[in-house]
Amino acid sequence: MRFSKILLAPFLALGLAATAQAQETNKLVTILTAPEPQTQLMAMVLTMNAIAAGAEAEMLLCGPAGDIALQDAPETATAGQPPRDASPQGLMQVMMANQGLKVQVCAIYLPGRGEDVSVLIEGVTAAAPDAMGAAIVAPGTTVMSF
């Protein structure tokens, strides 16, 4: 009996480790730089569906995509698109409010515009490069870039 316990111990340990790993939340970092509204909206749609599938997500908006986070966003960020008349900014705000999506603009986005965080919609912040770098390389993280 003792011999079988010794043989089974490593397998039980592996099984427990696999169970703990399987229960760990998948993480998603969506990096969006594309200027095209259709690409921006698709990034939002895929992020939303990843959250619905159980991922813990955050989003980094850089370059032209940073404009999505502006209070005075361009029409490309706010105009509804087919097939469901959703906009990149609108869907992003829904995910922020209902699913806890953390949204940040690149650290150089606002200084590049000569502005500060007061121009951003509520809940969006400027990213800290060290924290974002750590999030990108964290174990169990998928990075999706558009």
Quote the radius of gyration of the chain (alpha carbons, Å).
Answer: 20
What's the mean pLDDT in 12-37? 72
- Cα–Cα dist 28/103, whole Å: 12
Rounded-to-integer distance, Cα 146 and Cα 136, Å: 15
pLDDT of residue 25: 80
Q: What is the pLDDT of residues 49-89, one digit of tens each?
A: 999 999 999 999 999 999 999 999 999 999 999 999 999 99
- pLDDT for the residue 24: 74
Question: Cα(1)–Cα(58) distance, rounded to whole angstroms?
Answer: 51
Q: Choose among 138, 62, 143, 75: nearest CA to 103.
A: 62
Asked if residue 7 has pLDDT above 70, the reply is no
What residue ranges define each of the domains in the chain, with the CATH number in brackets? 25-145 (3.40.1260.10)
Phi and psi, residue 125, nearest 5°: -125, 175
Which range of 8-12, 16-20, 76-80 scores highest in mean pLDDT? It is 76-80
The CB density around residue 84, as the number of other CB atoms within 10 Å, is 9
Residue with tokens 């060290």: 130
Among 126, 144, 120, CA closest to 72: 120
pLDDT in tens, 81-139: 999 999 999 999 999 999 999 999 999 999 999 999 999 999 999 999 999 999 999 99
Closest alpha carbon to 46 in 95, 110, 118: 95
For residue 67, what pLDDT is reported? 98
CA 53 from centre of chain: 13
Label residue 23 by pLDDT band (50, 70, 90).
low
pTM for this entry: 0.83
